[in-house]
Amino acid sequence: MIRLANMGDAKAIQKLVNSYARQGEMLQLSLNEIYEKIFEFAVWEEGEGIIGCCALHPAWEDLAEIRSLAVDSRSHKKGVGKALVEYCLNRALEFGITNIFALTYKPEFFKKLGFDEISKDLLPKKIWSDCLKCPMFPDCDEIAMMRKFDETSK
């Protein structure tokens, strides 16, 4: 079941995200960062635990980022990631945000969800503030993907 995250989910979110960060697949998150941005997170809760998480981070007036998408490896290929992204896309539309991007090493996943590859140069410089803590900065090798909705999608 997907729901908005609460403060009690922070440690489970951190465990999921940082398991991928250790593999160099996403940025590591401190508990402090998660607590500060807990309202951005959605989680998939199953049984007694969190098996997936995804954040929707507003970046500008009509622009948001899908970030920190992580699914427990035992739940891969079961639609958890897809459902979490779709949940966040719907939240973006509720807020009137029609341009949603992701920086990813898995472009094929996002293509299946209607995202198109774009040049990172098309994104506002403001989004790079989180990149400063990345070991790959400034030589980012992630792929920028964008999904645009038209006004009738709102």
Which stretches within 22-147 are classed as H helix? 31-36, 80-94, 107-111
Q: 120 pLDDT exceeds 90?
A: no
The reported pTM is 0.89
Contact 88, 144 (CB under 8 A): no
Please tell me the CATH superfamily of domain 2-153, with its number: Gcn5-related N-acetyltransferase (GNAT) (3.40.630.30)
Encode pLDDT of 20-59 as tens digits.
999 989 989 999 999 999 999 999 999 889 999 999 999 9
Q: What is the mean pLDDT of residues 134-146?
A: 73
Question: Residue ranges per domain, the chain?
Answer: 2-153
